[in-house]
Amino acid sequence: MPVSRSNSRLKTARNGPRAARPGAAFYDLDGTLVDLNLVHAALFVQSNLGEWSARIGYLLAFLARAPRLYLAERDDRRVLNAVLFESLQGVSADRLLHLGREYCERVLIRHLYPQGVELLRANRDAGLEPVIVSGSPDFIVAPLAEYLGATAFAANRLAMLGGRATGRLAEPIMAGEEKARWCERFAEERKLDLAASWGYADSYYDLPFLAAIGHPVAVNPDRKLSRTAASRHWPVVHFDPSRFEEAKRDESGAADAGHDFERAPVRRGNGGAAHGAS
């Protein structure tokens, strides 16, 4: 998509001399590294709580929240995160940890974009330590971060009272500006250079997060982020399993493919057409 002018903030971030401090690679999770979103995680957790009868109750409660979820998704990610986990009120911390690990192992890992994982590993090999910055709850992000070998992660936490979830998210809620602030604090603590760091996210709500990092990359961006990325000259990548397969083509099967140029008996000798070649 053609673009016009580059963003002055981008220029400022990129124009300064590169500091000796190392950078990191910050990744959003839902829609960026995995092709699932937070709603799916919440549904999984709620449909695995208690016996069948209780599960139906949880799911009905979730459905009752659907209009609010829709409005929250449209207007404010913070509210979406808060509404999604209201229904977990009363669930024990142990149970959540167990379900988080189960969700990661049974679902999330299978839904990782292979290209995303490849890029994460290549970035790490190039000296950019992976850090996950997600609005998903910590009991889901932690096992995935471990699986991916991420050195650190930021995620939402459920407020606990007496070892049970209150149904509220603990402040600060990891969304929008808070993701950017967390990255800045993290970089300061670890003596990382944000200007030399790379950030990957898929949603327009992650704009503050992307803008805080020297090298923002829009991954499978939604329409609004796509437009913003174009106007700011940000790279856009598309994690698409089919392209990954295409590039990893196994040539062994290729020779079996058909041959539809007409076959004629093998001839020997000169076919004999004569025409000036030049």
Please select the residue that binds other proteins; options are 182, 198, 204, 209, rule is CB under 8 A. Answer: 198
* Angle separating helix axes 38-46 and 93-103, nearest 10 degrees: 120
CA 266 to chain centre: 56
Q: Least CB distance from residue 22 to other proteins, whole Å? A: 13
Neighbours of 108 (CB within 10 A): 25
Q: Quote helix, strand, coil % in the chain, to nearest 5.
A: 50, 15, 35
Please select the residue that binds other proteins; options are 60, 61, 126, 161, rule is CB under 8 A. Answer: 126
Residue 222 phi/psi, 5-degree rounding, is -75, 175
Q: Least CB distance from residue 154 to other proteins, whole Å? A: 21
Residue among 51 and 125 whose Cβ is closer to other proteins = 125
Query: With CB under 8 A as the contact rule, which of the stretches 99-107, 163-171, 204-212, 265-273 interacts with other proteins?
Result: 265-273
CA 51 to chain centre: 32
Binding mask 205-244 for other proteins (x = CB under 8 A): ----------x-x-----------xx--xxxxxx-x--xx
Q: Least CB distance from residue 12 to other proteins, whole Å? A: 9
Which conformational region is residue 245 in: left (phi greater than 0), alpha (psi within -120 to 50 degrees), or beta?
Answer: alpha
Q: Least CB distance from residue 65 to other proteins, whole Å? A: 38
Does 51 bind other proteins (CB under 8 A)? Our answer is no
Neighbours of 170 (CB within 10 A): 13
Q: Least CB distance from residue 239 to other proteins, whole Å? A: 8
Does 247 bind other proteins (CB under 8 A)? Our answer is yes
Q: Pull the structure tokens for residue 114.
A: 């292979």
Q: Least CB distance from residue 9 to other proteins, whole Å? A: 11
Give CA separation, 101 vs 41, 50, 217, 256, in Å: 11, 17, 29, 43
Please name which of 34, 40, 26 lies closest in space to residue 73, comparing C-alpha atoms: 40
Residue among 53 and 242 whose Cβ is closer to other proteins = 242
Terminal Cα-to-Cα distance of the chain (whole angstroms) = 42
Q: Would strands 198-201 and 158-161 be described as parallel, antiparallel, or unpaired?
A: unpaired
Residue among 84 and 217 whose Cβ is closer to other proteins = 217
Binding mask 9-38 for other proteins (x = CB under 8 A): -xx--xx-xx--------------------
Does 266 bind other proteins (CB under 8 A)? Our answer is yes
Please select the residue that binds other proteins; options are 87, 123, 220, 228, rule is CB under 8 A. Answer: 123
Taking every pair of Cα atoms in the chain, the longest distance, rounded to a whole number of angstroms, is 94
Cross-strand partners of 133: 154
Q: Which residues contact other proteins by CB under 8 A?
A: 1-6, 10-11, 14-15, 17-18, 115, 118-119, 122-123, 125-126, 128, 198, 215, 217, 229-230, 233-238, 240, 243-244, 246-249, 251, 253-255, 257-264, 266-267, 270-278
